[in-house]
Amino acid sequence: MSESWKRTTRKAEGTISTTRKPQPACDQHPVVSRTGPRRSESVRVAVLHAADDLLVERGFAALTIEGIAQRAGVAKQTIYRWWKSKVDILLDTLTDDAREALEWRTGEGSPEDDLKDHLQRVADFFQEPAGQVMQALLGHAQLDKETAASLRGGFLLEQRERDIAGLRVLLARAQDHTVDDRTIDHLVDLLLGPLYYRVLVFGKPIDKELVDTTARLVLTLARESASPEAG
């Protein structure tokens, strides 16, 4: 059973992130730890699960290594052996969860429908524990340069590359014209900017009208800015 499947199943069992209840320590499965050079996968998964659960329950400021260790059923020293701070743990859990949640899935419907579906998955992601981890890290990054550098140079950069590649594939299906790299880069800003603005600035959920309107406008702009393929 893959880790991504287990973490997806775990999210499904929780249904809504803000209503998930923590398991009592006595009900949790024992964690296998070891002191060798390789990190135990059971420890890693338990720590990541504990971190995003506690973030949702208590918020970023109240999240501590001690609390994560207690919830995960591991020693605090075990955590410090592999992560130097709670930020590093949250970056790991964000990378694990978001890779699948924000994946582009094109070719299943019309280009417009696929784009709307992708934006809706982005909207849903913000309501999940991983989305709340992302919001907490983005907020902390405004105050901490090290967090900002790690987040922007790691997860955000990788996700940006996936978004550019995904939109490029979708636009290739949508029209017989090519869109240059610089334009696609700007279109990604226009595609995701309204969603991030709604959530991060105003703290409001993303409604279907915003998703549909944004998808239509980006496709329209792509058509207007495209140039005929040579040949």
Domain ranges for the chain: 13-83, 96-228
Strands (E), the chain: 177-178, 227-228
Asked if the model's pLDDT at residue 33 lies above 90, the reply is no
pLDDT at 20: 39
| Residue entry with tokens 């918020």 | 59
Domains 13-83 and 96-228 in one fold: no
Model's pTM, two decimal places? Answer: 0.79
Superfamily name and number for 96-228: Tetracycline Repressor, domain 2 (1.10.357.10)
Type of residue found at 46: A
**Tens-place pLDDT, residues 12-29:** 333 333 333 344 433 444
Bridge partners (DSSP) listed for residue 177: 228
Q: What is the mean pLDDT of residues 116-132?
A: 96
Per CATH, domain 13-83 is 1.10.10.60: yes
Percent of the chain clearing pLDDT 70 (strictly above): 81
Rounded to whole angstroms, the Cα distance separating 219 from 222 reads 5
Residue 132 has pLDDT above 60, yes or no: yes
Residue 174 has a pLDDT of 84
Rounded to whole angstroms, how far apart are CA atoms 198 and 127?
Answer: 13
What is the CA 7 to chain-centroid distance, rounded? 13
Q: Give bridge partners of residue 178 from the DSSP assignment.
A: 227
Q: 60-112 pLDDT, tens per residue?
A: 999 999 999 999 999 999 999 999 999 999 999 999 999 889 999 977 789 99
Q: How far apart are CA 132 and CA 223, in angstroms?
A: 34
pLDDT tens-digit readout, 157-183: 999 999 999 999 999 988 767 899 999
Tokens of 181: 């790299």
Backbone torsion region of residue 227, taken as left when φ is above 0, otherwise alpha when ψ lies between -120 and 50, otherwise beta: beta
pLDDT at 228: 59
